[in-house]
Amino acid sequence: MKKSFLIVRSNIRKSVGQTTAIVVLVLLSALMLNLWLMLATDYTANFDRYHNKLNAEHVTLVADENKDEFKKFLSKTVENDSRTSEYRLDNCMCAESTFCYNDDEIFTDNSIFLEKQAAVTRTVGKIEILEEGNETSGVYLPLVFKNTDGVEVGEQIDIIIGNHKMTYTICGFFNSIMMGSSNCGMIEVVLTEDKYTQLEDMGYAPQSTLCSVRLKDKQDDISYETWLSSAVLEDYPNIGVFNNNYSTVAQARYISQMVCSGIISAMAFFVLLIALVVIVSNIINYIQVNMKNLGALKAVGYTSGQLICSLLLQFLTLTFIAALVGIVLSYCLFPAINTMMIQQTAIPYTMRFLPIPLLATLVVLAVAVTFAVWFASRKIKKIEPIDALRSGIQTHNFKRNHIPFEKTNAPLNLAFALKNTMSGVKYNITVFITMLVLSLVIVFSGLMIENVIADITPFLNLIVGENSDSSVNILTEKEDSFLHAMEDDSRVEKIYLYTTLDVSHNDGANLMASLCDDYSVLDNQNLIVDGRYPKYDNEIAVGAKYAGEERLKVGDEIEIAANGKKFKYLICGFTQTSYNLGRDCMLTRKGYERLGELTILNYHINLTDKTDIDAFNQEVKDKFSDSVIAAINLKTTLENLANVYVSLMTVIVIAVLIISAVIIVFVLYLLVRTMLNNKLNDYGIMEALGFTSKQLILQTALSFMPTTILSVVVGLVISSFIINPLTALFLSGIGIIKCTFTIPILFIVIAGIGLVIFAFVIVCALSLKIKKIAPRALLSGE
Amino acid sequence: MKEALIKTEKLSKSFSNGGTMQHVLKNIDLQLYKGDFTVIMGASGAGKSTLLYTLSGMDTPTLGKITFEDSIISDFSQDGLAVFRRDHCGFVFQQIYLIDGMSVMDNVLAAGLLVNKDKKALITKAKELFKAVDISEETQKKFPTQISGGEAQRVGIVRALINSPEILFADEPTGALNSKTGLDVLDTLTKFNRQGQSVVMVTHDIRSARRGNRILYLKDGVILGECDLGEYSHGNVKRHQKLSAFLNDMGW
């Protein structure tokens, strides 16, 4: 072992530059691997930790009814089910609300208003106050409000409850696991006792009952949720019921984490792949250059095993050092990532030391590097000491004289460069793989810039499904007069029914059903990924993710239940929206009416370009007063919702582009350095013959270009084909099966050219060392 | 009256060696003439190769001036010197220095294409030169590691002459060769010199030195003396005796 250490020390001393480049690549890989593992394991587990800490429920049900008789019924129903572990019923108020502050608006379908003392002391599903001031009268808001828009304790906030505006002072912020963000399906709002009583007295929000149930087995949450809402609606068909479950909320609150960790993991493995290719290339070059030394070592008694072992020791030592530094850096970087994530999760996370991700990172890197070293150093076994000592370096095989000057019409510098390209297989492989991977990163970045950062609409179309300028909830009885008024209004470009409500399939899962009179009028015609939209009243389009889980096919018949009624529908297509994380379906209005009457309708309205949406909504509210339950500026609401994703994606794109640039620089540095070392003699001869440094730099840079251009072109073309399926894979957790983002061809072409030019400039810069090569130095001195 | 190709004025070259300056060339005033076969001799460490490489623009002087025809090449930048070398000089090295990754023909054309744009004419010239030094067409296609040392040095001479340089610099061209192949190389150089090619050769081998018509003897960085031998002719004993006497005087 001591002998191996001597060789390792000598090797590292001889190649400080190359060693640094490999260390940087392994470090980047370790950094991202550890970040990914931290996000994928402990960060997600943080939800469960808080869920347990706050003794949160697995199923939440809110009913706009709070009579004692109803409560008794609910208690009895819950108690009698063997799956129930514990439960809690509380009085609350429930209403659609719009939160207005800092020029922003957030609309929620179901705001659950609770009195502070009750919220804090609930035995099941209590809140945790995270920040509070001296104010004694006002509102406590979920942490998401502070994170997203930066409202502070002591500031005022307007909450439009139904159609009534209330102004509250913000007393503090809290964490609620199952109702802490709009992604939960319902959002908790806590009022001080006086404000709660005031709201009760005003009657703006119906008195309701909040039922929070903890289950013995949390895996029963979806079926329990469906069963409980069905049971309630069976006995109380005329009340409004809203519910959520543990699985859906756990996923919904970690969408950004899922997207982010997916991208980081992909980048980590890409960088690791590049690092391994570089290590393999480095070892093959080491064996070629040191053939005589290796022969000499074998001649004095070193075994092949010892020589391979020394290489293994060398690279594993570097890997461990680089990995540990990378892991430390990942801990330095994590708070910034946490700050981004928390804007969407709205669940506080305290960073701590995580030994398992650390060990996993080290093991993955060690195994990968060991394999790479073994793969590259097998040739050492074939070295015969005498042959190695006699023949020394075999850098060229004499099978072919590539690009003979006699025959080529290429200019001299290009011909030289092509000769170098053709004879440098290991350089070509390394450049090809690196540029191929980075082309994918370029295409991904272009896709995100085009479809998320520059214009969020495609992303919203994918995530949200259908969106429009305004969304108006109106009582069914006023539908005709409302539609007449809208038809007469010149500002209205298009109006169509698009209502969502809950149904259940086979008494099992709750599905969020979207209803429309005619799906051909939707702005977003990409919601169906297979088959078609429902046309007839016996047809249904089912969420593709749910269909996959339930093994449903187009043409199958499924039984859907709502309002205590059941009906069999024919599956005509599969849809994808992330409203309910893939558990969705689409019916025609007439199709739904087989299960019950619609009491409230939601109309989407597209307005002419210069129309003030808020002013239009206010006019609608004023005109139809109590018949309009809510009129929402959907555009602003979605933009606010999307801002989290835009800022997250901006940071991710900037980060991956910077990492890509760093990778290019270090990989090319390593290759150019190796090339200059190997060809030092040739460069000296050529300078002696009269080649200028500029010519040699140009030749070196040009020699990398054929492979760079080829791999960039191949990479961009392949990436353009696979990027949408790959993005869909990242988003599959939220129900996305098929991604139809626009591929920004122009951006990709320009970025591809930019990538080639960047590589060219970097090689030129790295080759400046040629200027220091004096022809005199290679000639034997006095 | 001979026409001077290269002139030096107070040419000095010093190297820093472990913190102390080593003065290798000291105030050398020298003229090299067109058509001459100049031989620079001296003991090991006298500064022969340093003088050769400084004269040829391969290295720069520490002090002094070097003029080639009307150009002061000691003022040239590195790239300027590279252009000067390609346009006016040819080099034959002791270690030959062919590029292993290129065929024999490509090694010659690599230098030729730097100056000549007419590739057809260049290839014709290369083939003539190869023929002149007895390198077969088959050998022209081989790689440097596949040919003998003598063949490689003759290829080196072809490469040095491909651009018809005004002056050919040769640094111990026979130093790495056996006596037979060394003789072939010297014959080749003599042949081209007779055709008008100016040659400057560094050697410490008296047999090689006999080929020159002008012998410069360098000692401790200064030219101690010079000897005019006249045109080389094989078996000219008088000429050989004159050289021996000169070298004896110089303390050889």
For residue range A255-308, list pLDDT tens digits in order.
778 888 888 998 899 999 999 988 998 898 888 888 888 888 888 788 888 888
d(CA A709, CA A7): 38
Interval A252-257 mean pLDDT: 82
B103 chain-A contacts, CB cut-off 8 A: 401, 404
Task: Write the ipTM.
Answer: 0.88
Provide the shortest C-alpha distance from residue B1 to chain A (in Å): 31
Out of B79, B86, B97, closest to residue A685 by CB: B97
Q: Nearest residue of B to residue A683 by CA position?
A: B99
Residue B220 with chain A: CB contacts under 8 Å: none
- Please report the pLDDT score of residue A740 as a whole number: 84
**B 137-196 near A (Cβ less than 8 A):** 141, 143, 145-146, 159, 171
Structure confidence at residue A781 (pLDDT): 39
Q: What residues of chain B lie within 8 A of the CB of A690, using their CB?
A: 82-87, 89, 111, 114-115
What integer pLDDT is reported at residue A36 of this predicted model? 93
Cα(B218)–Cα(A147) distance, integer angstroms: 84
Three-state DSSP class for A125?
A: coil
| Contact flag B110-A686 (C-beta cutoff 8 Å) | yes
Residues 191-230 of B with CB under 8 A from A: none
- CB contacts, 8 Å: B141 with chain A: 401
Distance in Å, alpha carbon of B123 to nearest chain A alpha carbon: 7
pLDDT recorded at residue A780: 43
Gap from A686 CA to chain B (nearest CA, Å):
8
Sheet holding B198-202, edge to edge: B89-92, B167-171, B198-202, B37-42, B214-219, B222-228
pLDDT at A782: 37
Spell out, as residue ranges, where chain B has pLDDT lower than 50: none
Please report residues of A whose CB lies closer than 8 A to that of B123. 406
pLDDT of residue A191 exceeding 50, the answer is: yes
Query: Within its chain, how far is the Cα of A107 from the centroid?
Result: 24
Q: Are A406 and B106 a contacting pair at CB < 8 A? A: yes
According to DSSP, the residues that pair with A139 across neighbouring strands are: A170, A191
pLDDT, one tens digit per residue, over A482-506 is 999 999 999 999 999 998 888 888 7
Give the integer Cα–Cα distance in Å for A11 and A297: 14
Partners of A681 on chain B (C-beta within 8 Å) are 97
pLDDT at A420: 85
On whether any CB of chain B is under 8 Å from the CB of A91, the answer is no
Res A386 pLDDT > 90: no
Amino acid identity at A402: H
Q: What is the pLDDT of residue A1?
A: 60
pLDDT above 90 covers what percent of chain A? Answer: 42
Q: Is the dihedral of CA A336, A337, A341, A346 positive or negative?
A: negative
Is A416 at the interface with chain B, CB within 8 A? Answer: yes
Q: What is the mean pLDDT of residues A676-694?
A: 88
Half-sphere exposure of A674 (CA within 13 A, CB side): 28
- State the nearest Cα–Cα gap between B93 and chain A, in angstroms: 8
A391 has a pLDDT exceeding 60? no
Residue A679 to residue A767: CA distance in whole angstroms: 12
Nearest partner of A671 among A709, A695, A707, judged by Cα: A707
The pLDDT value given to residue A392: 54
Q: Chain A neighbours among B 81-120 (CB < 8 Å)?
A: 82-87, 89, 91, 93-95, 97-103, 105-106, 109-111, 113-115, 119
- Dist CA A393 CA A569 (whole Å): 75
What would the pLDDT profile of A335-353 be if each residue is shown by its tens digit? 988 888 887 788 889 899 9
How far is residue A633's CA from residue A214's CA, in Å, rounded to a whole number?
Answer: 36
Share of chain A above pLDDT 70, in %: 94
Q: Is the pLDDT of residue A696 over 90?
A: yes
Give B118's contacts in chain A (Cβ within 8 Å).
Answer: none
Confidence (pTM): 0.79
Nearest CA in chain B to A686: B111
Going by pLDDT thresholds of 50, 70 and 90, the confidence category of residue A183 is: confident
Fold of B4-249: Rossmann fold (3.40.50)
Listed residue (A441, A402, A447, A438) closest to A420, CA to CA: A402
Task: Please count the residues of chain B.
Answer: 252
Break chain A into its structural domains and give their ranges. Answer: 1-56+253-394, 65-239, 411-465+635-782, 470-610
Q: What value does the mean pLDDT of chain A take?
A: 87
Interchain CB distance below 8 Å, B113 and A776: no
Chain A residues within an 8 Å CB radius of B87: 690
pLDDT value of position A242: 85
State the Cα angle at A251 between A123 and A345, rounded to 5°. Answer: 75
Q: Which residues in chain B are contacts of A678 at CB distance < 8 A?
A: none
* Nearest residue, CB atoms, A406 vs list B79, B100, B105: B105
Query: Rounded to whole angstroms, how far apart are CA atoms A110 and A587?
Result: 23
